[in-house]
Structure 1
Amino acid sequence: MSFPKFLVADNTDSLDAIFIVHTEFPAFILNLENDEVKWLDDISDENQGDLTKTLESLISEAEDFYQREVDRYNL
């Protein structure tokens, strides 16, 4: 089964939170309410310089993805 690169998630235990799940390496869950990131993959062995740029880019992509989804929903 293949998954999209990003998924939107929510949970009634966290009513104000909206989560973006990145399904590719490095997999993570971004809480848009407080910008907290939970890493699902072990990234400790990655080159820190390259990793920082990659992660900043992925988090920006996740936020853009969410905005696109909201815009589509509000049409």
Structure 2
Amino acid sequence: MTVPKFLLGDNSDFSDHIFVIHTEFPRFIIDLTIDEIEWFEEFDRQDEDELASETENAIKEATEWYDAEMEKFEKE
């Protein structure tokens, strides 16, 4: 099975939140409503600098993907 890089997540307990799941390394879920990330990977101290830049890129990519997906839905 081929899994997309991003998936949109939904949960009725968090109906006001928008979740995007990033399925490639480093794997995470981001709540775009509050820009909070939950990582699925374990990181050590050596990874912290890279993680900081990856976090910024991850938020940007996830937000851009979500915006593009919403534009597709609005056109339909």
User: TM-score, with normalisation over the residues of structure 1?
Assistant: 0.89
Specify whether residues 68 and 46 from structure 1 end up closer, same or farther in structure 2 by C-alpha distance, changes over 3 A only.
farther
**Bigger helix share:** 2
Alpha-carbon contact 2:5-2:22 (below 8 Å) kept: yes
In the aligned structure 2, how far is the partner of 1:42 from the partner of 1:19? 21
Provide runs of 4+ in structure 1 moved above 3 Å: none
- Flag structure 1 segments of 5+ consecutive residues without an equivalent: none
Helix, strand or coil at the partner of 1:74? helix
Alpha-carbon contact 2:35-2:59 (below 8 Å) kept: no
Q: What percent of counterpart residues are identical?
A: 39
User: TM-score, with normalisation over the residues of structure 2?
Assistant: 0.87
Across the aligned residues of Structure 1 and Structure 2, the Cα RMSD in angstroms comes to: 1.3
- Alignment pair present for 1:63 and 2:63: yes
In the aligned structure 1, how far is the partner of 2:6 from the partner of 2:56? 15
